[in-house]
A and B are shown apart, each in its own frame.
Chain A
Amino acid sequence: MTTKIIFMLLEGIGGTLYMTLLSTLFAYLIGLPLGILTVITGRNGIKPCRKLNMVLGWIVNIGRSIPFIILIVALIPFTKFVIGRTIGPTAAIVPLVIAAAPFIARLVEQSLEELDSGIVEAAKTMGASNWQIIYKVLLPEAIPSLIRGGSITTITLIGYSAMAGCVGAGGLGDIAIRYGYHRYQSDIMIITIILLVIIVQVIQCIFNLAANKIDKRNR
């Protein structure tokens, strides 16, 4: 293997991690509030509001029903408006964030819904305001579950970033498509697959360790 190829693969790893981590971060900025809002406006939430809850449900479902490869293409004008161009890892972050935010909203919703409703009840009887219930009860109690959700999001985004690769986003997916598919160089494709598997394993491992360390329920 030439140094040129090794350098290219390293750059690919960098591109994949750059796209995945940055888009996970930005997507949480949208998805986390969206998920919290869905839970608190729900029928058994602390501030039920049927209309807002339905609208949120629609937004999340619409976002989740568009296949990612189509979303990338459909968002090209928007991406160009936000980033100024449509090619490269930074441009790929726009569709990645928009695809991941509703996904995260659902995961956050699930993490919060699975908490024992008794703890919210108890906080209410102690005179906690709705804000206090959110940031002192719901979020801290759900943290281990939210972290586990974070690993699902990050790994899903690695897969998405590979798809973004085929419209010139860079990263390992881009390399696999260009060499493995267009040039029939299966060896390079296999290497990128192995690298992706390793990245996924490492990320899963880090998140699991963090979740288990933080969770005080299993001591």
Chain B
Amino acid sequence: MIEITGLTKVFGADGSIRALDNINLSIADRDIFGVIGMSGAGKSTLLRCIALLEQPTAGTISIDGQPVQGLKNAALIKMRREIGVIFQGYNLLMQRTVIKNVMFPLEIGRMPKEAALKRAMELLELVGLSDKAQAYPSQLSGGQKQRVAIARALAVKPKLLLCDEPTSALDSLTTRSILDLLKEINKELGVTILIITHEIGVVRAICNRVAVIDNSNLIEMGETSEVLEHPKSDITRLLLGQTQGGDR
């Protein structure tokens, strides 16, 4: 589904901030792939590059066999519509009802209103919030807001769902239910999921494969069970809580 080769991203006019350094990874169709790292490691930049919000400085990204770096204007907008993204802060439109939030991506894609409404209701059913269709986001709990965000991201039937710290603002019980929902979506709809997180528990709960990013570099990658049971790097052990952090 995703092939990334030599992905490098530098920021700053003089290229002084290297957020990603020569990242190579591939994510299979229908996989649930985790990227874990400390804050500032570069994992969010990785997601932003895949979500087509940042242009890579060097390297290539292809999604579903199609190279996506360097896309502009209409082609860029078209490609973005094929990827769903959810965020830590939900990013719902506060002045729109839940159903109108879910309809938003369909509305900007100019789907006829009745069809969009029908599709949005199906999605609210899927995330278990049919009864909240006419509520406003401010009336929902954090977990419910993330469910609405998931429904919204799935509205355009993406093959790929990118999740940027989807549970980092939620309590452990709610985290569990959101992760179960993502797992169900992966299984039922065959959506490939990429999760960026700093919580090892998230990786353990649903990721089949995991990549560890530290200091802009990909440190290790493999089957979740393999990486968690036999961590090869200090940073992985640190994320697992096996060593003292000290003065990193």
Distance in Å from the Cβ of B112 to the closest Cβ of chain A? 17
Cβ-defined contact, A126 with B95, below 8 A: no
Q: A124-B53, A125-B80, A219-B138 are in contact. Are A119 and B109 (CB under 8 A)?
A: no
Distance in Å from the Cβ of B70 to the closest Cβ of chain A? 17
Q: A125-B51, A126-B80, A216-B136 are in contact. Are A132 and B108 (CB under 8 A)?
A: yes
Cβ-defined contact, A140 with B96, below 8 A: yes
Flag the segment in B13-21, B81-89, B182-190, B240-248 that touches A: B81-89
CA distance A119 to B90 in the complex (A): 9
Contact of A126 among B94, B105, B139 (CB under 8 A): B105
Task: Render B119-160 as a binary contact track against A, CB cut-off 8 A, 1 for contact.
Answer: 000000000000000001111000000000000100010000
Cβ-defined contact, B91 with A218, below 8 A: no
Which of chain B's residues have a CB closer than 8 A to the CB of A215?
A: 95
CA distance A124 to B95 in the complex (A): 18
**Interface check A187, CB cutoff 8 A:** no
CA distance A136 to B137 in the complex (A): 17
Which of chain B's residues have a CB closer than 8 A to the CB of A121?
A: 53, 87, 91
Cβ-defined contact, B108 with A127, below 8 A: yes
Which applies to chain A's interface (DSSP): helix, strand, loop or mixed?
helix
Cβ-defined contact, B81 with A127, below 8 A: yes
Distance in Å from the Cβ of B111 to the closest Cβ of chain A? 12
Cβ-defined contact, A128 with B108, below 8 A: yes
Q: Output the residue of A127, A137, A144, A218 with the most chain B CB within 10 A.
A: A127
Which of chain A's residues have a CB closer than 8 A to the CB of B33?
A: none
**Interface check B113, CB cutoff 8 A:** no
Which of chain A's residues have a CB closer than 8 A to the CB of B89?
A: 116, 118
Question: Which partner residue on chain B sits nearest A117 by CB separation?
Answer: B91
CA distance A127 to B79 in the complex (A): 8
Distance in Å from the Cβ of A117 to the closest Cβ of chain B? 9
Cβ-defined contact, B138 with A217, below 8 A: yes
CA distance A122 to B91 in the complex (A): 6
**Interface check A174, CB cutoff 8 A:** no
Cβ-defined contact, A118 with B105, below 8 A: no
Distance in Å from the Cβ of B127 to the closest Cβ of chain A? 17
**Interface check B93, CB cutoff 8 A:** yes
Interface size class of B (residues with CB under 8 A): 20 to 34
**Interface check B77, CB cutoff 8 A:** yes
Which of chain B's residues have a CB closer than 8 A to the CB of A30?
A: none
Chain A, range 88-142, C-beta contacts under 8 Å to B: 116, 118-119, 121-129, 132, 136-137, 140-141
Which of chain A's residues have a CB closer than 8 A to the CB of B92?
A: 119
Distance in Å from the Cβ of A18 to the closest Cβ of chain B? 33
**Interface check B107, CB cutoff 8 A:** yes
Which of chain B's residues have a CB closer than 8 A to the CB of A128?
A: 77, 108
Distance in Å from the Cβ of B203 to the closest Cβ of chain A? 23
Contact of A141 among B53, B95, B136 (CB under 8 A): B95
Cβ-defined contact, A141 with B93, below 8 A: yes
Q: A216-B136, A217-B138 are in contact. Are A125 and B53 (CB under 8 A)?
A: yes
**Interface check B72, CB cutoff 8 A:** no
CA distance A125 to B138 in the complex (A): 22
Which of chain B's residues have a CB closer than 8 A to the CB of A214?
A: 95
Question: Which partner residue on chain A sits nearest B85 by CB separation?
Answer: A125
Cβ-defined contact, B91 with A119, below 8 A: yes
Q: A125-B51, A128-B108, A216-B138 are in contact. Are A118 and B87 (CB under 8 A)?
A: yes
Distance in Å from the Cβ of B95 to the closest Cβ of chain A? 5
CA distance A108 to B105 in the complex (A): 26
Cβ-defined contact, B91 with A118, below 8 A: yes
**Interface check A167, CB cutoff 8 A:** no
Q: A118-B87, A126-B105, A136-B104 are in contact. Are A216 and B81 (CB under 8 A)?
A: no
Task: Show the binding face of B for A, using Cβ within 8 Å.
Answer: 51-53, 77-81, 83-85, 87, 89, 91-96, 104-105, 107-109, 136-139, 152, 156
Q: Which 6 A-B pairs have the closest CB atoms?
A: A127-B81, A122-B91, A118-B91, A127-B80, A126-B105, A125-B85
Task: Show the binding face of A for B, using Cβ within 8 Å.
Answer: 116, 118-119, 121-129, 132, 136-137, 140-141, 143-144, 214-219
Q: Please list 14 pairs of residues, one from A and one from B, whose beta carbons are closer than 8 Å in the complex, sorted by A's number.
A: A123-B104, A126-B156, A127-B108, A127-B156, A140-B96, A141-B95, A144-B95, A214-B95, A215-B95, A216-B96, A216-B137, A217-B95, A219-B136, A219-B138
